[in-house]
Structure 1
Amino acid sequence: MRVLIFGATSAIAAEVAKIHAERGDQLYLVGRNAEKLAEVASRLGEKVTTKVADLGDLDANATLVEECIAALGGVDAALIAHGDLGDQLASERTFKDAEAILRVNFTSVISLLIPLANHMEATRQGRIGVITSVAGDRGRPRNYTYGAAKGALNVYLQGLRTRLYAAGVSVTTLKLGPVDSPMTHDHGKHLLFGKPVPVARSIVAAMDAGTAEAYVPFFWRAIMPIVKNTPERVFQRLPFLSGR
């Protein structure tokens, strides 16, 4: 299988790549940091190609996707794994900071999805997986700019999934809870934090099965309906939900 991973240097994406490498799949990894990308690739064997790219360069992403697919000789599965929590307080002070969060977590993902979807629709095969977040299910003061980007992405993926259904292409929305990784190094950890290795296994399993929406770890599927459906007047009075 030919597998394309964007944001391949994240702890989760690196573990996903390892699973595919152990299966003998052909990998094409894209990341921003050349040193980290080389480090990930060094652990995966010979059937891996890498490319350094800034996924925030929106105008270049269509060409990037085309080059990656050409180098692989086609694509069977693509995972979009990049993202950034950003600084919520900064995003409340200036539009520049808010737009940076929206760009990396929403618009840059769309700039990759459009050429990926068009290719897979034309070839009538393939799997697309996109890492979003449980933060997109309800706005909370601590991360609502990031959550808004992920929520918009969830809606986009719903429409894309239905569009590509007729072509036999699956689109999996991967709604991750917090994960104990470098991205959350300054966050206080608790029992609901996932670990990169089991999270990666769940991601691969969901994409293999063509699951529409997967909460990862699985227990968030039970938690988030409560968070989403709590009346706002109650929500605002519960510090563990509405606090910073």
Structure 2
Amino acid sequence: MQDLQQRIVIIGATSSIAEHCARLWVAGRGVALTLVGRDAARLERVAADLRVRGPGAAVTVRSADFSDPRSIRALADAVVREGMPTQVLIAHGSLPDQQQCQRDLEAASEALDVNGVSPVLFAEAFAGHMEAVGGTITIIGSVAGDRGRRSNYVYGAAKGLVTRYAQGLQHRLAGSGSRLKVVLVKPGPTATPMTAHLPQRGLAPVESVARLIVDGSRAGKPVVYAPGKWALIMMVIRHLPAVVFNKMNI
């Protein structure tokens, strides 16, 4: 039987960033990947590609309802029964239309759920299992969560929720002596299908962002800005006085 040294679960495995992280992981040895998503057909296509890229990896797929707390709990329980994960990457999300969210409260509610509530529930479900044994939970947030801006404040509010949750979970685990690490990743604008409608100049290559996520997760860094330049950019934006910030069209 293959000696599987890493058991990695990817939530939102059909996202471009998640898929590129998975490609890096299957290039190693002794990796078992569980791909979780909402679209079974797309999951199978991603899994088939990964099996070719990493013939030594074990790749399985699972579907779940990402908006149902009971489905999220059942998914985490089922995955753990098959083997305790060493790494969980929570990577799902969408980029909503800000103006539509202002007009349509259902759209706003969906954006907040998909980008904020759902990732938090997945993290909490797996943290409950992994706290006693250790490992790493990596949650993809966004630089948009660092300060509310007119251009994307509904999305930013959801990612701000993810940021506060990750900070709180890190604080709780530090106080308990757990070896479970929580890594919060804050990508800047990245060239993925989710941003295909935006001007492409200045977007980070998805491959480099994935590499930063994989490396940051391995190191157990509390926060990873991807690319790293966004740490300085967002520090400046967070500390701008309101009288200056409110005149900016960002």
> Is the shorter-chain TM-score for this pair beyond 0.5, marking a shared fold?
yes
Tell me which residue corresponds to 1:107.
Answer: 117
Tell me which residue corresponds to 1:9.
Answer: 14
State how far apart, in whole Å, the 2-side matches of 1:50 and 1:26 are.
11
> Could you tell me which amino acid in structure 2 is paired with residue 234 of structure 1?
V
Tell me which residue corresponds to 1:51.
Answer: 62
Conserved? CA contact 2:84–2:130, under 8 Å: no
The TM-score normalised by the length of structure 1 is 0.93
Corresponding pairs, count: 237
1:74 offset after TM fit, Å? 1.1
Over aligned residues, Cα RMSD in angstroms? Answer: 1.2
Superposed, which structure 2 residues align to 1:74-223 within 5 Å?
A: 74-123=84-133, 125-165=134-174, 166-191=177-202, 193-223=203-233
Where does structure 2 lack aligned partners over 5 or more consecutive residues? 1-5, 52-56
Secondary structure in 2 matching 1:79: strand
> Could you tell me which amino acid in structure 2 is paired with residue 82 of structure 1?
H
Where does structure 1 lack aligned partners over 5 or more consecutive residues? none
> Could you tell me which amino acid in structure 1 is paired with residue 95 of structure 2?
L
1:91-141 alpha-carbon deviations (Å, 9 max, x no partner): 112322211111111111122122211111132x11000000000001111
The percentage of aligned residue pairs carrying the same residue is 39
Tell me which residue corresponds to 1:23.
Answer: 28
State how far apart, in whole Å, the 2-side matches of 1:29 and 1:42 are.
11
State how far apart, in whole Å, the 1-side matches of 2:26 and 2:108 are.
37
Tell me which residue corresponds to 2:3.
Answer: none
State how far apart, in whole Å, the 1-side matches of 2:222 and 2:45 are.
32
The TM-score normalised by the length of structure 2 is 0.91
> Could you tell me which amino acid in structure 2 is paired with residue 156 of structure 1?
Y
> Which of these residues, 63, 80, 92, is aligned with residue 69 of structure 1?
80
State how far apart, in whole Å, the 1-side matches of 2:229 and 2:193 are.
22
